[in-house]
Amino acid sequence: MKYVFVTGGVVSSLGKGLTAAALGALLEVRGLKVRIQKFDPYLNVDPGTMSPYQHGEVYVLEDGAETDLDLGHYERFTSGKLSKLNSLSSGQIYENVIQNERRGLYLGKTVQVIPHVTNEIKDRIYQGAKDVDVLITEIGGTTGDIEGLPFLEAMRQFALEVGPRDCLFMHVTLVPYLGAAGELKTKPTQQSVAKLREIGIQPHIVVCRCEHDMDNEMRDKISMFCNVPVKAVIECQDVASIYELPIALEKEGLDELVVDLFGMKRPMPDNNLWTDIVNRINNPRHEVTIGVVGKYIELQDAYKSVYESVTHAGIANYCRVNVRRIDAEDLEARNGLSLLKGLDGILVPGGFGDRGTEGKIAAARYARENNVPYYGLCLGLQIAVIEFCRNVLKLKGANSLEFDQEAIEPVITMMEDQKKIVDKGATMRLGSYECQLQPGTKARKAYGEEYVRERHRHRFEVNNAYVGAMQRAGMVVSGLNPRRNLVEIVEIKAHPWFVAVQFHPEFQSKPNEAHPLFAAFVKAAMKHHNAAKAPVAKKAPKAKKKKTAKKTTKKATKPVVKKAAEPKTDS
C-alpha cells in the first residue's frame, strides 16, 4: 500500500486537483489500483451549503455525499467510484470530535488538535486506502494557511507511522513570470517548500505551474533550494484541454518517478488511452455550438461537470463542441431571445431559486417551438415542464412551488418527504436512484437498457397530478423511479430531441465513456447543424453542396480550447 500526499503552495487555483487526477490516471494505465481523495480545511461540514460564488459546483457521489468539484476530476480521470469516506473537511472532523467528547469517549482527557483531530485525519487515510494499491490524498488550500496545519501535521505523523518508503509528498506550486524582469521566478516556490519543511515535511516532487518553459538553470535552482533531485522538478504548463494533462505529465516523467520512488515495477504500456482521447479532441470531424443557459455563467466552476460532459460527448462523436454561455436573465430582456440564434442545441443545467427562471423558461419554449435540441438537467427538467404546461396545456398559472409558494398550478411540487425538513445540509434527495426507461423513447434508445442508476440532488419533483394531461399533449414520461413513481425523464415525442432529466447525468460521464444522454444530445445537435445549413446549400447545384460540407469539416481541426476546461481550478 502506497500513499501520495498532494499539497499546494503560493496561490490557490493552481490545479492541484487536476494534477492529482492526472497522476492517478497515469498510475492506472500502468495497472495500479488507484483511489484519490480530498481533505478540505474549511469548517463547513461539506460544500453542499456553499454558494457557487464561494465554491463552484457541488459534486454528488453515488452514496449521496455532496463534495468538492475536485472529486469530479478524480472520478473522470480514474475508474473507481468514490464514497463519502473520500471527502473530509475540518467541519466533519470537529463535528465527530465534539460528539465523541460529549459521549465521554475520550475518558476524561483534554481534547486537543494533537492527537484528537490529527487522529481523525489519519483514520480517514487508513480507511480510504482499503482495496487499492495507491491512495492519493489532496489537501485543499495553500501551505501556510492556519486551518491547513492540522492536516499537514497528520500527514507528517502518518509518514512516520507507515514508514518513509511508502509515503510520498508532491507539492504543486507556482513559478510566476515577471514581465518587467522578463523571467520566471523561483523564490515563491522556495519559500513555500521552506514552509512545508518547517513542519517536518520534505516534498519528494515539486510540480511547477508556469506559463513559460523552464530552462535547466531554473530546474537546478529549484532542485537545490527545495532539496529535491532535478528529475523531481516537474514543469507543468497550461494545456489546451485538461485531458492533455496526463500526457504532458508523462512526458515530464512524473509517473515514472512515482513508481521508481515506490520501488514498483510497473512499465507504461504502449496503448495509453489518453493519447487516443487527445487525438480525438484535436482532430474533430464535426462542429456544433450549444448554448448553456444558467445564472452563474460567468463562473468558471459553477457548471464544471456539465461542461466536461459536453466535451466528452464531443469526443464520442468526433465533434468540436463550442459552448455559448448565456445568462438566463439576459433572455428576459427585450430581444433577449436573439442570444439563442444559431445554436444547435440548448442546455439548461441545474439550479436553485427563482432568479433567471423566466429566461430559462423562454429558452425551453424557443427550443420546443423551433425544433432546436433541448437538454434539461434537474432544474432544466422542471423548467421544461413548467413551459409545456403554460404554453401547450394553457395552464397560465403553472409554476414550481420553489419559485412561487402560492402557484395556482403547482406543476412542480415539493417532494413529500422534504416537507418536514428544516436543516439545509445534506437533506435533499441525494445520490444514486434507479430509473426505469420506457420502451420506444429517445432516452431508452440512448441508454440501450431498461434500468439505469443516476445521481440526484433536489427537493422538488414533477407533480403527478399533471402527468396525464402532459402525456396526452405529447410530453411523455420516458424514465420513472419504479419504487416511488417519481418522474425522472420527460421528452417531447414530436420534437427532434427534447429530453429533460430530474437527475444529474453530468456526474457519471468520462472522457473515454461519454454519458449516453450527453452523447445523444450532441448527436442531435450535429443533425440540427447539418439541417440548418441545408437551406443555404439548396440553392447551389448538387456537386457544390458536397464540397461546402467537406470544407467545413476540414476547417474544424483546431484543438478544443475552452476556458472552462483549463486546469486552473482549485477550490
Q: Which helix or strand (DSSP H or E) is residue 92 part of?
A: helix 90-102
Give residue 508's identity as a one-letter amino acid code: Q
At its nearest, how many Å lie between ligand GLN and the CB of residue 366? 20
Report how far residue 314's alpha carbon sits from residue 288's, in angstroms, rounded to the nearest whole number: 9
**Can you say which residues are annotated as belonging to the binding site for L-glutamine?**
53, 351, 379-382, 402, 459
At its nearest, how many Å lie between ligand GLN and the CB of residue 528? 25
Residue 209 backbone phi and psi in degrees, to 5? -80, 125
Catalytic residue among 286, 456, 504, 515: 504
**Can you say which residues are annotated as belonging to the binding site for CTP?**
12, 145-147, 185-190, 221
- Considering only residues 131 to 150 of the shown chain, the ones binding ligand GLN according to CB under 6 A are none
Question: What's 329's DSSP letter?
Answer: H
Report how far residue 207's alpha carbon sits from residue 7's, in angstroms, rounded to the nearest whole number: 10
- By CB under 6 A, tell whether 379 contacts ligand GLN: yes
Identify which of 419, 378, 389 has the alpha carbon closest to the alpha carbon of residue 506: 378
Q: Which residue is nearest to ligand GLN (CB)?
A: 350
> Which residue lies nearer to ligand GLN by CB, 325 or 459?
459
> Which residue lies nearer to ligand GLN by CB, 39 or 507?
507
Q: Which stretch binds ligand GLN (CB under 6 A): 42-50, 308-316, 443-451, 455-463?
A: 455-463
**Helical spans, DSSP H, in 144-251:** 149-162, 187-198, 216-226, 245-251
- By CB under 6 A, tell whether 411 contacts ligand GLN: no
- By CB under 6 A, tell whether 48 contacts ligand GLN: no
> Which of 91, 351, 359, 511 lies at the binding interface for ligand GLN (CB under 6 A)?
351
> Which residue lies nearer to ligand GLN by CB, 94 or 352?
352
> Which of 402, 454, 491, 570 lies at the binding interface for ligand GLN (CB under 6 A)?
402
- Please identify which residue in the block is written with the cell numbers 499537514: 152
- Give catalytic status of residue 217 as yes or no: no
> Which residue lies nearer to ligand GLN by CB, 278 or 383?
383
**Can you say which residues are annotated as belonging to the binding site?**
12-18, 53, 70, 138, 145-147, 185-190, 221, 239, 351, 379-382, 402, 459
Report how far residue 477's alpha carbon sits from residue 470's, in angstroms, rounded to the nearest whole number: 9
At its nearest, how many Å lie between ligand GLN and the CB of residue 187? 44
> Which of 324, 325, 459, 510 lies at the binding interface for ligand GLN (CB under 6 A)?
459
At its nearest, how many Å lie between ligand GLN and the CB of residue 67? 15
Identify which of 158, 147, 74 has the alpha carbon closest to the alpha carbon of residue 120: 158
Catalytic residue among 66, 75, 244, 506: 506
> Which residue lies nearer to ligand GLN by CB, 285 or 459?
459
Report how far residue 203's alpha carbon sits from residue 243's, in angstroms, rounded to the nearest whole number: 26
- Give catalytic status of residue 504 as yes or no: yes
At its nearest, how many Å lie between ligand GLN and the CB of residue 89? 21
Q: Which stretch binds ligand GLN (CB under 6 A): 177-185, 367-375, 451-459, 515-523?
A: 451-459
Catalytic residue among 210, 226, 236, 378: 378
> Which of 42, 74, 77, 460 lies at the binding interface for ligand GLN (CB under 6 A)?
460
> Which residue lies nearer to ligand GLN by CB, 9 or 48?
48
Identify which of 157, 145, 160 has the alpha carbon closest to the alpha carbon of residue 121: 157
> Which of 8, 141, 350, 431 lies at the binding interface for ligand GLN (CB under 6 A)?
350
Please say whether the beta carbons of 33 and 131 come within 8 A.
yes
- By CB under 6 A, tell whether 403 contacts ligand GLN: no
- Considering only residues 483 to 542 of the shown chain, the ones binding ligand GLN according to CB under 6 A are none
At its nearest, how many Å lie between ligand GLN and the CB of residue 451? 22
Report how far residue 371's alpha carbon sits from residue 367's, in angstroms, rounded to the nearest whole number: 6
Report how far residue 21's alpha carbon sits from residue 136's, in angstroms, rounded to the nearest whole number: 9
- Give catalytic status of residue 210 as yes or no: no
Number of H helices, E strands in the chain: 19, 23
With vertex at residue 84, the alpha carbon angle to CA 81 and CA 85, rounded to the nearest 5 degrees, is: 95
Nearby residues of 288 by Cβ (< 8 Å), 6 or more positions away: 319, 320, 321, 322, 344, 345, 522, 525, 526, 528, 529
Exposure string of 29-52, with b = 16+ CB inside 10 Å and e = fewer, is bbebebbbbbbbbbebbbbbbbeb
SS3 label, residue 30: coil
> Which of 29, 170, 236, 378 lies at the binding interface for ligand GLN (CB under 6 A)?
378
The footprint of ligand GLN (CB under 6 A) covers 350-352, 378-379, 402, 457-460
Q: What residues are annotated to the active site?
A: 378, 504, 506
